[in-house]
A and B are shown apart, each in its own frame.
Chain A
């Protein structure tokens, strides 16, 4: 029998001085494709990085590759998070930057990025086009990195990996931010490279998986435990009985008007490229909307207008909270009334703030905390920290926490001021199934008090029950607006 591809004996691993993996053993043999699922913070990412030898190389992880194979003999890791720098090697970006015309030319184009990747790994350029097409990425070749949305960044990472076809491909939360169609196509592409000889380790809590996955495991108490497909069903969901903090059950004040958002023929374009076309949309106080559309359909641009983050708001007929934009209001007066979470906000958030600071900063809509919040704000923050089970991380820096915990902290930040308008753009990215359920329950709870909601989510399972209306964007245009009577079906 040939040597196992990965052989791990008694691996012990700490994450910021806390043990996460303890005497973990794992053997991956030829032709095996693994799914690793389980709760957030259980050590999945640490394990994946260790196998790919990122940052450190462990003597108790042996990898052996097939010398006969034409595929690159390496373990390639696709991170759960994308990273890029500007042309001068800096990554000091802010999330609104992609909407500012003059700031987008300082990062490389997708094309240049792919060319340098291809060169580095001696890849054939004619092979990348098919992958690009399958993930709906071809049109973005001339975009610069900063113009991409988080879902598009994810795709770029995947395009590189699928083009490379390493002998061992490790994908950490690959479906995050992808729309339904892209998820399907990703699975087909993964099946294809598996056929061609790549082996997969997939870290995900998704249920729609490539058919080649033939082993499933979770990490429990620092050890790898193999489970059967049936055991993946979520029967271990704890009942969650913590009381919603009282300040959140107070009715929100819709101070000014019944009309929260009103857009009349709103158009946004960058040079020749029109990203929003003649958008007409009205949202009334207390309504719960879901905003649907494929990656690149214009969703994040639409939301950036509402949040005061888009400079072209000033050139459009567009009313927020009853006032026309550009009639003397400041963006801080707008932001004060909105609780926002989005993948971009998370990505650009100040990583050197503590959990506590990050949550309080929600009162000021700043990325990081710049002033003393005073007693009542502190007290509300502490209540929320407790509610989200983050007590022990209160003073931990954001960048020292796994993704799921960072996300919980930012969700707490989103609601800490009990805002009249909640904008939840893929709020549950990086959360496990249980955390998602709990968060959705909380959203339902909040919405009983008159909060207006705009929800974006590609995963049907993650959409809260209170949604009653849907707007569908396609290529920057409103495709349909409808009233829903049951849970929405995704296209």
Chain B
């Protein structure tokens, strides 16, 4: 198997990267009809598997689970999840041959093995569904020609997929049809119906491609979503301790600060977040985030280039083959950082204080969101896709840090994201070393406004606001957020 994307001629690469259509709700009027009465069999009953299945059944569809033998015999959690919720559970041999749609919700790393095991059992003309396209795009998995291959990817953790559904809503979702495997032309109709079944159609659906989903997903998670949040957190904590700020306070400010700060993104984008600062602090945050963008741009570009060329997945798969040697070493090292090891102090920090005393993180977030977005768009990814994989997901990931720091973030995200996150973090920290020597406690740890008279030049402020608000991520974001206004504060659970 070889990297699917790399087999494509340039024009087709650009074509697939550019599939991006924010779908109108009228496209979903047919509801779940395209799947009604069909047999849906989900492989794996983990976070996505269980919750997507509960929603599909509650939407009137016929759902069963198939698990590997060990899981059934060992009555593992996946088996309990399925049986205790009264689903039929069976082996591949028992359930796959009669399935109209096989839904692969096993961990990405296992996809090749799982698909190789189930594909021979699948009936003629059946459909294979993924929630992430890594296997097809990066590993170049070849699927039998009679099989339709589609993707429905909720842009939220599984628990939210369920919680939002029963509230009568859903989570934003990407759908795609693999152009190499749509023999009967039914792929899109089935993907839409599946999306209705999980409730995604209520929260905004982006028609994408396997290629666009994978390339943008990888880029987002490595840079702004996980990589930069990790780097920013570690550097901020170390700086405060170096400057004599109480370690418990520093730990709490960093752990919860990213969540509070990025919550503002959800409502008003980057400018909404910057507006939470005083005028003087905003001017400062703007200046240093410009500087940060200049410093980090080459690194963001390198990540995007390696993702596009397949270099990233090649090295990561080498590490898989080596028993996750690097991944495990990096994971252990992250656990040993001073930030991870210092518990949050028992101090009260008010909501506004997180902004006033942590201007540095606001600058990091602005720089990271804009850079990730710009780099993706330059590489041929459409702004709407780039928005989902940068700004939209940042608060969701920040929430995991608030729960149990970096450990929790890296536990919740996929191994692929975790690997990319460490890769970025190790390259980014040295890059910022000089910059960090100039950072003092007014930017992180103490109130930036303290001892300043608060006045700013009118023209400077207006110019800054203009730059912030006219950035493409803001323009696209305002439109997409409007389509999802109803989206409640979605949290990882």
Q: Residues of A at under 8 Å CB distance from B?
A: 86, 88-90, 92, 94, 96-97, 100-103, 106, 270-271, 308-309, 311-312, 314-315, 326, 328-333, 350, 352, 361, 364-371
Given A312-B86, A329-B60, A330-B32, answer yes or no on A366-B50 (Cβ-Cβ < 8 Å). no
Residues of the B chain whose Cβ atoms lie less than 8 Å from the Cβ of A271: 84
Chain B 24-63 interface 0/1 with A at a Cβ cutoff of 8 Å (1 = within) = 0000000010001100000000000010001001111010
Taking a contact as CB atoms under 8 Å apart, the answer to whether B168 and A361 are in contact is yes
Taking a contact as CB atoms under 8 Å apart, the answer to whether B80 and A350 are in contact is no
Q: How far is the CA of A352 from the CA of B81 in the complex (A)?
A: 32
Tell me if B403 is interfacial: C-beta within 8 Å of chain A.
Answer: yes
Residues of the B chain whose Cβ atoms lie less than 8 Å from the Cβ of A308: 58
Given A88-B404, A92-B491, A328-B37, answer yes or no on A102-B80 (Cβ-Cβ < 8 Å). yes
Tell me if B167 is interfacial: C-beta within 8 Å of chain A.
Answer: yes
Q: How far is the CA of A90 from the CA of B84 in the complex (A)?
A: 25
A sample of 6 more A-B contacts (CB under 8 A), given A94-B163, A332-B168, A371-B202, is A88-B404, A102-B84, A312-B85, A328-B60, A330-B59, A330-B60
Tell me if B419 is interfacial: C-beta within 8 Å of chain A.
Answer: no
Tell me if B186 is interfacial: C-beta within 8 Å of chain A.
Answer: no
Given A311-B86, A314-B86, answer yes or no on A364-B54 (Cβ-Cβ < 8 Å). no
CB-CB nearest in chain B for A269: B84
**Binding site secondary structure of chain A:** loop
Count B-side interface residues using an 8 Å CB cutoff: 31
Taking a contact as CB atoms under 8 Å apart, the answer to whether B86 and A368 are in contact is no
Chain B 59-81 interface 0/1 with A at a Cβ cutoff of 8 Å (1 = within) = 11010000000000000010011
Chain B 310-322 interface 0/1 with A at a Cβ cutoff of 8 Å (1 = within) = 0000000000000
Residues of the A chain whose Cβ atoms lie less than 8 Å from the Cβ of B486: 368-371
Residues of the B chain whose Cβ atoms lie less than 8 Å from the Cβ of A88: 403-404
Given A328-B37, A370-B202, A371-B486, answer yes or no on A94-B166 (Cβ-Cβ < 8 Å). yes
Within 8 A of A (CB), among B435-490: 486, 488-489
Taking a contact as CB atoms under 8 Å apart, the answer to whether B168 and A90 are in contact is no
Tell me if B169 is interfacial: C-beta within 8 Å of chain A.
Answer: yes
Tell me if B493 is interfacial: C-beta within 8 Å of chain A.
Answer: yes
Residues of the A chain whose Cβ atoms lie less than 8 Å from the Cβ of B81: 101-102
Taking a contact as CB atoms under 8 Å apart, the answer to whether B167 and A368 are in contact is yes
CB-CB nearest in chain A for B197: A330
Taking a contact as CB atoms under 8 Å apart, the answer to whether A94 and B80 are in contact is no
CB-CB nearest in chain A for B63: A314
CB-CB nearest in chain A for B54: A311
CB-CB nearest in chain A for B485: A370
Given A315-B86, A330-B58, answer yes or no on A92-B167 (Cβ-Cβ < 8 Å). no
Taking a contact as CB atoms under 8 Å apart, the answer to whether A367 and B86 are in contact is no
Q: Residues of B at under 8 Å CB distance from A?
A: 32, 36-37, 50, 54, 57-60, 62, 77, 80-81, 84-86, 159, 162-163, 166-169, 202, 403-404, 486, 488-489, 491, 493
Residues of the B chain whose Cβ atoms lie less than 8 Å from the Cβ of A350: 167, 488
23 A-B pairs, CB-CB below 8 angstroms?
A89-B403, A90-B403, A90-B491, A100-B162, A101-B81, A101-B85, A102-B50, A102-B81, A311-B54, A311-B57, A311-B86, A312-B86, A314-B57, A315-B86, A328-B60, A328-B62, A330-B59, A332-B168, A350-B488, A352-B488, A367-B168, A370-B169, A371-B486
Q: How far is the CA of A489 from the CA of B167 in the complex (A)?
A: 37
Q: Report the 9 A-B pairs with minimum CB-CB distance, sorted nearest first.
A: A366-B168, A370-B486, A315-B86, A330-B60, A101-B84, A367-B167, A331-B58, A311-B85, A330-B59
CB-CB nearest in chain A for B399: A90
Distance in Å: Cβ of A162 to nearest Cβ of chain B: 29
Taking a contact as CB atoms under 8 Å apart, the answer to whether A370 and B168 are in contact is yes
Residues of the A chain whose Cβ atoms lie less than 8 Å from the Cβ of B168: 332, 361, 364-368, 370
Q: How far is the CA of A86 from the CA of B491 in the complex (A)?
A: 13
Given A94-B166, A328-B36, A367-B167, answer yes or no on A100-B85 (Cβ-Cβ < 8 Å). yes
Distance in Å: Cβ of A348 to nearest Cβ of chain B: 9
Q: How far is the CA of A370 from the CA of B168 in the complex (A)?
A: 8
Taking a contact as CB atoms under 8 Å apart, the answer to whether B166 and A96 are in contact is yes
Residues of the A chain whose Cβ atoms lie less than 8 Å from the Cβ of B86: 311-312, 314-315
Residues of the A chain whose Cβ atoms lie less than 8 Å from the Cβ of B77: 102
Which of B60, B84, B168, B169 has the most chain A CB atoms closer than 10 A to its own CB? Answer: B168
Q: How far is the CA of A101 from the CA of B489 in the complex (A)?
A: 24
Within 8 Å by CB of B60, from A270, A333, A365, A367, lies: A333
Taking a contact as CB atoms under 8 Å apart, the answer to whether B37 and A368 are in contact is no
CB-CB nearest in chain B for A316: B86
Taking a contact as CB atoms under 8 Å apart, the answer to whether A92 and B493 are in contact is yes
Residues of the B chain whose Cβ atoms lie less than 8 Å from the Cβ of A315: 86
Which of A97, A271, A330, A367 has the most chain B CB atoms closer than 10 A to its own CB? Answer: A330
Taking a contact as CB atoms under 8 Å apart, the answer to whether A366 and B491 are in contact is no
Q: How far is the CA of A151 from the CA of B406 in the complex (A)?
A: 39
Residues of the A chain whose Cβ atoms lie less than 8 Å from the Cβ of B403: 88-90
Residues of the B chain whose Cβ atoms lie less than 8 Å from the Cβ of A352: 488
Residues of the B chain whose Cβ atoms lie less than 8 Å from the Cβ of A329: 60
CB-CB nearest in chain A for B403: A88
Within 8 Å by CB of B163, from A92, A102, A333, A370, lies: A92
Residues of the B chain whose Cβ atoms lie less than 8 Å from the Cβ of A331: 58-59
CB-CB nearest in chain A for B484: A370
Q: How far is the CA of A330 from the CA of B60 in the complex (A)?
A: 4
Q: How far is the CA of A101 from the CA of B404 in the complex (A)?
A: 24
Distance in Å: Cβ of B87 to nearest Cβ of chain A: 8
Residues of the A chain whose Cβ atoms lie less than 8 Å from the Cβ of B36: 328
Distance in Å: Cβ of B486 to nearest Cβ of chain A: 4
CB-CB nearest in chain A for B203: A370
Q: How far is the CA of A267 from the CA of B169 in the complex (A)?
A: 30
Distance in Å: Cβ of B131 to nearest Cβ of chain A: 19
Q: How far is the CA of A23 from the CA of B486 in the complex (A)?
A: 42
CB-CB nearest in chain A for B199: A332
CB-CB nearest in chain B for A101: B84
Q: How far is the CA of A315 from the CA of B50 in the complex (A)?
A: 17
Residues of the B chain whose Cβ atoms lie less than 8 Å from the Cβ of A367: 167-168
Distance in Å: Cβ of B268 to nearest Cβ of chain A: 16
Distance in Å: Cβ of A327 to nearest Cβ of chain B: 9
Distance in Å: Cβ of B346 to nearest Cβ of chain A: 14
Distance in Å: Cβ of B420 to nearest Cβ of chain A: 25
Residues of the A chain whose Cβ atoms lie less than 8 Å from the Cβ of B85: 100-102, 311-312
Q: How far is the CA of A329 from the CA of B62 in the complex (A)?
A: 10
Q: How far is the CA of A365 from the CA of B166 in the complex (A)?
A: 9
Distance in Å: Cβ of B201 to nearest Cβ of chain A: 11
